[in-house]
Amino acid sequence: MTLKIWSQVCKNLEKSLGKNNYHTWIKPLSLISLDKGKAVLSVKTRFQGDWISRNYGDQIKIQFSKFGIEVFRLEFKIETVIKADNNVEKTEPKKIILDRGSTLGAPLDKRFTFGRFVVGKPNELAHAAARRVAAGDLTAFNPLFLYGGVGLGKTHLMHAIATELRQNSLDLKVVYLSAEQFMYRFIQALRDKQMMNFKELFRSVDVLLVDDVQFMAGKDSTQDEFFHTFNALIDQQKKIVISADRAPGEINGLEDRIRSRLQCGLVVDLHPTDYELRLGILQEKVDNYRVQYNELDIAKGVLEFLAQKISTNVRVLEGALTRLFAFSSLVGRQITLEMAQESLADILRASDRKVTIDEIMRKICDYYNVRMSDLLSPRRSRSIARPRQMAMYLAKNLTSRSYPEIGRRFGNRDHTTVMHAVRKIEDLKSQDSQFSEDVELLRRMLEA
Ligand code: ADP
Ligand code: MG
């Protein structure tokens, strides 16, 4: 019975994840047990288990739920093989570094395409740069360095670049991998005395995309190796695309020579998502879900509510939707706002912005070099009024406090004063791009 369900689940996974991903990751799995909401699956390596859990865990759970089985936990057991001489040995993909082409890197998620990347103000620059590279303009800017907070689409864009290049230029050797995997391969090569091979392989790449380089911070020998690979490729005018969760200059533990080389191309950041972008993304995911499963009934206003309430991280947004999808397939009726609120209570709570008015005031005092007592005083000279308005504006935007509450905190002012301040800052933002950048910078410092 269980095995039969597993093979059904596999069939559906093949459809939803695509043939490639399915064959690489899901097919080799076997179900060991399924009991009390826990499914145990066998894998060959820990890496495999981690990867599957991170990338396909939700999908696997959803597919189980379609057969009325709620799986809350996935566990991966590492398979051991008994060799003829009775030595028990873990099967590890030792020869992986000897493979050519795409197997040198990590597999690409076929959902991460340009077609499915929703473009909005916060990511339009990064998107445009990524498109440029994907179009084969390998000389444009080298390296391209994409950075931004968690879940803002860096990995998605990198996969999209790699996929498109591979499709359009069959003769190009395009390798995508995370910095962690780079290190893994490097250590493996050291251990297996395959360093020459390793170097040769990485130096024969035409386009190298390395994700999450902040991971290399403090890992000196990996950095060193990366640096040499990097230089060799740049010297041969090969293309490099890098991502990190922060700007090159802000990655502590990164050697200066690497930092400066990373900065010599184009550095673009993905800004935190705004409401419009979040709504666009939700809409795209819902449309896509409908195309695949065509049964989904969501009441008006639910997506708007989620876009409003859930923080900037798109992954969290997706997690919420995934749960709604699973929920909808279980209850088989329309998802209403109340149902959404209830089933997503934990996510909604965690997304509540945690910036406080105190923090905002302190940051503003710092930034504009004014005293706290002045900020709260009745003084109206411009050098104080403007920072005060800015602080009120940020308090309105980053906390859930109401106009009257904010007024009270700022020396017992009337709520109309706060409303006026918010409008004033919005006006200035739209007239003056420098000012608008200041606001953005402050917001980011506070949310960091
Ligand atoms: P990062 O690598 O920056 O942490 P990811 O690229 O892994 O973020 O994105 C997290 C999830 O959000 C992915 O499933 C990705 O497809 C999705 N996502 C992020 N940005 C967008 C976007 N602009 N349009 C559609 N999906 C997005
Ligand atoms: Mg990523």
Q: Are residues 87 and 146 in the same domain?
A: no
Q: How confident is the model over 45-82, as pLDDT tens digits? A: 776 787 788 888 988 988 888 888 888 889 988 876 53
Q: Are residues 210 and 257 in the same domain?
A: yes
| Ligand 1 atom having least distance to the Cα of 148 | 3
Burial 109-143 (b: 16+ CB within 10 A, else e): bebbebeebbebebbeebbebbbbbbeeebeebbb
| pLDDT at residue number 361 | 95
- Banded pLDDT at 205 (limits 50, 70, 90): very high
**Which residue has the least CA distance to atom 1 on ligand 1?**
151
Helix ranges (H only) for 43-178 are: 46-66, 124-134, 154-168
Percent of the chain with pLDDT over 90: 44
Q: Is residue 406 part of a domain?
A: yes
Mutational pocket test of ligand 1: of 311, 315, 317, the residue with most ligand atoms within 8 Å of the beta carbon: 315
pLDDT at 24 > cutoff 80: no
Ligand number nearest to the C-alpha of 270: 1
* Chain position carrying tokens 């490097």: 186
Q: Are residues 152 and 177 in the same domain?
A: yes
| pLDDT at residue number 97 | 35
Q: Is residue 177 part of a domain?
A: yes
Please give the distance, rounded to the nearest whole angstrom, from the Cα atom of residue 322 to the centre of ligand 1.
14
Domain boundary among 269, 301, 318: 269
The Cα–Cα gap between 394 and 360 comes to 7
Q: Are residues 374 and 404 in the same domain?
A: yes
Burial 280-307 (b: 16+ CB within 10 A, else e): bbbeebbeebeeebeebebeeebbeebb
- Total structural domains within the chain: 4
**Which residue has the least CA distance to atom 5 on ligand 1?**
153
Q: How confident is the model over 121-130, as pLDDT tens digits? A: 999 999 999 9
| Ligand 1 atom having least distance to the Cα of 280 | 24
CATH number at residue 370: 1.10.1750.10
pLDDT at 98 > cutoff 50: no
Q: Are residues 51 and 85 in the same domain?
A: yes
Ligand number nearest to the C-alpha of 214: 2
**Which residue has the least CA distance to atom 21 on ligand 1?**
153
Mutational pocket test of ligand 1: of 116, 117, 124, 156, the residue with most ligand atoms within 8 Å of the beta carbon: 156
Mean pLDDT over 269-297 rounds to 88
Q: Are residues 232 and 172 in the same domain?
A: yes
Q: Are residues 45 and 138 in the same domain?
A: no
What length does the chain have?
448
| pLDDT at residue number 103 | 59
| pLDDT at residue number 364 | 94
Q: Is residue 106 part of a domain?
A: no
Domain boundary among 351, 366, 389: 351
Among the residue ranges 11-20, 166-175, 220-229, 345-354, the one predicted with the least confidence is 345-354
In angstroms, what CA-CA distances link 199 with 222, 299, 431?
12, 55, 53
CATH number at residue 264: 3.40.50.300
Mean pLDDT over 251-276 rounds to 88
pLDDT at 408 > cutoff 60: yes
Q: Is residue 196 part of a domain?
A: yes
Domain containing 391: what range? 357-447
Q: Is residue 107 part of a domain?
A: no
| Ligand 1 atom having least distance to the Cα of 157 | 6
Percent of the chain with pLDDT over 70: 93
| pLDDT at residue number 448 | 63
Please give the distance, rounded to the nearest whole angstrom, from the Cα atom of residue 153 to the centre of ligand 1.
3
pLDDT at 87 > cutoff 50: no
Q: Are residues 122 and 263 in the same domain?
A: yes
| pLDDT at residue number 156 | 97
The Cα–Cα gap between 37 and 161 comes to 38
**CB within 8 A of 375, min separation 6: which ones?**
361, 364, 365, 384, 387, 388, 391, 410, 411
The Cα–Cα gap between 176 and 108 comes to 8
| Ligand 1 atom having least distance to the Cα of 118 | 24
- Banded pLDDT at 249 (limits 50, 70, 90): confident
Please give the distance, rounded to the nearest whole angstrom, from the Cα atom of residue 112 to the centre of ligand 1.
8
pLDDT at 200 > cutoff 50: yes
| pLDDT at residue number 353 | 56
Please give the distance, rounded to the nearest whole angstrom, from the Cα atom of residue 153 to the centre of ligand 2.
7
DSSP state of 109: P
Q: Are residues 235 and 88 in the same domain?
A: no
CATH number at residue 14: 3.30.300.180
| pLDDT at residue number 92 | 40
Q: How confident is the model over 141-154, as pLDDT tens digits? A: 899 999 998 899 99
Please give the distance, rounded to the nearest whole angstrom, from the Cα atom of residue 155 to the centre of ligand 1.
7
Ligand number nearest to the C-alpha of 156: 1
Average pLDDT score over the chain = 86
Please give the distance, rounded to the nearest whole angstrom, from the Cα atom of residue 69 to the centre of ligand 2.
30
pLDDT at 84 > cutoff 60: no
Q: Are residues 245 and 286 in the same domain?
A: no
Among the residue ranges 16-30, 179-193, 255-269, the one predicted with the least confidence is 16-30
| pLDDT at residue number 58 | 87
Please give the distance, rounded to the nearest whole angstrom, from the Cα atom of residue 278 to the centre of ligand 1.
11
Q: How confident is the model over 306-321, as pLDDT tens digits? A: 998 887 789 989 999 9
The tokens describing 146, both together, are: 């994409």
- Banded pLDDT at 158 (limits 50, 70, 90): very high
* Chain position carrying tokens 């935007």: 397
CATH number at residue 325: 1.10.8.60
**CB within 8 A of 409, min separation 6: which ones?**
357, 395, 401
Q: Is residue 307 part of a domain?
A: yes
The tokens describing 39, both together, are: 């499914």
| pLDDT at residue number 143 | 93
Q: Are residues 42 and 163 in the same domain?
A: no
| pLDDT at residue number 421 | 96
The Cα–Cα gap between 448 and 439 comes to 14
Q: Is residue 100 part of a domain?
A: no
Q: Is residue 150 part of a domain?
A: yes
Using CB distances shorter than 6 Å, the residues near ligand 1 are: 112, 116-118, 123, 148, 150-156, 281, 284, 314-315, 318
Among the residue ranges 150-159, 192-201, 239-248, 353-362, the one predicted with the least confidence is 353-362
| Ligand 1 atom having least distance to the Cα of 119 | 23
Q: Are residues 138 and 82 in the same domain?
A: no
Domain boundary among 351, 369, 391: 351
Ligand number nearest to the C-alpha of 210: 2
